[in-house]
Chains A and B, each alone.
Chain A
């Protein structure tokens, strides 16, 4: 291929991502001229259809935004409503929320690591093709995913779109003996997750690092997950309620998902790398040791290593779930009492892909007058494009099909959930 030739590479349907998207690259005389991550999945107008619904309907309605991270939607919605209505869920009820959420992290990360992203590193077209040569690893991944699903079923009522979450807590809390059988399985899952860290740590990684502004939720002494303050690697430290003063969403012509930026500062990154780099010292000691043994430092700015960070987060999630189950005493009541009233509430939690922000304004009857949802993938969109602006020049000499494959791998670093953001990627490379 001649360096002076123009190349337009178009991936019209991105694969192994959730939702429908495409990537266009324009290359002229061997120089990258344009990168566009196009999200063409139609918008779904969830924020509009929430208006006029009761406050207590928001967790179940917004859960339908995503089949992979419904707990994130339920949790962000419930905590926002609780703030609007002046109640706080603490103690064992909050612990149950964390337990349910760890189930979602384990399930989502296991699926992404094993079935969606590992094939990129090992040179397979899909997880199914990889399974023929790496059956033991794929079986391990499926077993991990199943533990996550089962945890969600026991606490949440079912594995997809759980039905047990409500504003103020739960409809029903599990009995001690319902959680007990999960203990031994989570011990095995933790060992499988540790194996996964060693496996993924041995993948070949491009030598590629960027100086990101990482944003994550940081609580008093917990690894980022639920509540706390919005903290960045460049000094931002704000309450969740100040989100919209600092983060803005912009329309861009080529995407149906809004691009989020930090006001006056530009793109930022949310998700596993951000949580890890801001919360390394809050990981369980076993997860920290596993990360170090896999070659990670206390921060990680190589997006391709996000797969290793996800495996470390699986270890952390299994350990924390074990701790919560071992110490579980059923709460006296499944939820705190709530009286509808007017108010504004902000909620934020760490979906597997990064922070998920909700804001609701309620009228006197507790009906939703206004809703705002900012999912993690729309926050990472600009960062994904920025990664490609830096990554593609180093691999420009590759033939089109290989270049496309490497770009898809770079996009999958973010486990983008396009369904959430508008809500699959087509790649177009235009070489001139």
Chain B
């Protein structure tokens, strides 16, 4: 059976940043066949190693700036990211955005990668998940499960844009941010 890898990303000690980890924990508890779950608390460069060779990956992470706390958003990185990863501000640590773009450049993106974001409220060190984000996590869990399991039972994977697209590198020229909202085309199954 094809396996879908669900990766929950976050820091367990930074309030709502743990949203992705908590979603992964709840999905793991369901013990659904064909779903492999990983909780990820390392840097982005290791993230692209984690999904290398896997055909279908669903990544869940806390996000900011998408709406009210707890709101669940879905991105299809093959359509471009609705935010521009901060290449300029990169330090030693890679974020999820950089990891996706580096994987795209290296052709290491999974055949299908979907990102679920849960809008965070507070990222205070040591704080628990906020009530809104806890509710958001439950919504995200159901959406991830519905999408993954329905997919398991149906369509074969499609090639991702990165594999179809050109590989030309960018030598110091400005690039327009990926279009916001481009994920609409790939709207997932309905939320329970």
Query: Hey, which bits of chain A sit against chain B, CB under 8 A?
Result: 13, 15-19, 67-68, 108, 111-112, 115-116, 123-135, 138-139, 142, 145-146, 149, 159-160, 405, 417, 419, 424
Beta-carbon contact of A132 and B92 below 8 Å: no
Query: CB within 8 A of B46: which of A16, A135, A146?
Result: A146
Report the tally of A-B residue pairs with Cβ distances under 8 A: 89
Q: Is the interface of B mostly helix, strand, loop or mixed?
A: loop
Chain B nearest CB, measured from A103 CB (Å)? 14
In the complex, whether B182 has a CB less than 8 A from a CB of chain A is no
B92: chain A residues at CB < 8 Å are 18, 67-68, 108, 111-112, 116, 417
| CA A18 to CA B94, docked complex, whole Å | 11
Q: Which residue on chain B has the smallest CB distance to residue A123?
A: B171
| CA A127 to CA B106, docked complex, whole Å | 11
| CA A211 to CA B107, docked complex, whole Å | 45
Query: CB within 8 A of A16: which of B49, B90, B170?
Result: B90
Beta-carbon contact of B105 and A131 below 8 Å: yes
Chain B 68-93, CB-CB to A under 8 Å as 1, else 0, gives 00000000000000000101111111
| CA A207 to CA B152, docked complex, whole Å | 59
| CA A146 to CA B42, docked complex, whole Å | 12
Contacting A at CB under 8 A, from B45-60, are 45-46, 48-49
Q: Which residue on chain A has the smallest CB distance to residue B170?
A: A129
Beta-carbon contact of A135 and B107 below 8 Å: yes
Beta-carbon contact of B91 and A18 below 8 Å: yes
Beta-carbon contact of A129 and B87 below 8 Å: yes
Closest 6 CB pairs of A and B: A132-B169, A133-B169, A131-B105, A126-B87, A132-B105, A129-B170
Chain A nearest CB, measured from B143 CB (Å)? 29
Beta-carbon contact of A159 and B106 below 8 Å: no
Instruction: Report 15 cross-chain contacts, Cβ distance below 8 Å, ordered by A residue.
Output: A68-B92, A111-B45, A123-B171, A125-B171, A126-B88, A127-B90, A129-B169, A129-B171, A131-B102, A131-B106, A131-B169, A138-B102, A142-B49, A146-B46, A159-B42
Query: CB within 8 A of B42: which of A18, A68, A126, A160?
Result: A160
A17: chain B residues at CB < 8 Å are 91
A419: chain B residues at CB < 8 Å are 91
| CA A160 to CA B11, docked complex, whole Å | 12
Chain A nearest CB, measured from B126 CB (Å)? 14
Q: Is the interface of A mostly helix, strand, loop or mixed?
A: helix
Q: Which residue on chain B has the smallest CB distance to residue A418?
A: B91
A133: chain B residues at CB < 8 Å are 167-169
Chain B nearest CB, measured from A161 CB (Å)? 11
B48: chain A residues at CB < 8 Å are 142
In the complex, whether B172 has a CB less than 8 A from a CB of chain A is yes
Beta-carbon contact of A128 and B45 below 8 Å: no
Beta-carbon contact of A135 and B106 below 8 Å: yes
In the complex, whether B16 has a CB less than 8 A from a CB of chain A is no
B105: chain A residues at CB < 8 Å are 128-129, 131-132, 135, 138
A116, A130, A131, A139: residue with the most chain B Cβ atoms closer than 10 Å = A131
| CA A138 to CA B102, docked complex, whole Å | 9
In the complex, whether B101 has a CB less than 8 A from a CB of chain A is yes
In the complex, whether B98 has a CB less than 8 A from a CB of chain A is yes
B90: chain A residues at CB < 8 Å are 15-16, 115-116, 126-127
A18: chain B residues at CB < 8 Å are 91-92
Q: A138-B106, A139-B106, A142-B45 are in contact. Are A130 and B169 (CB under 8 A)?
A: yes
Q: A127-B102, A146-B49, A159-B42 are in contact. Are A132 and B168 (CB under 8 A)?
A: yes
Chain A nearest CB, measured from B156 CB (Å)? 27
Query: CB within 8 A of A15: which of B85, B89, B167?
Result: B89
Q: A124-B171, A125-B171, A129-B170 are in contact. Are A149 and B46 (CB under 8 A)?
A: yes
| CA A89 to CA B98, docked complex, whole Å | 41
Beta-carbon contact of A132 and B46 below 8 Å: no
| CA A424 to CA B107, docked complex, whole Å | 29
Chain A nearest CB, measured from B111 CB (Å)? 18
B93: chain A residues at CB < 8 Å are 67
Beta-carbon contact of B91 and A16 below 8 Å: yes
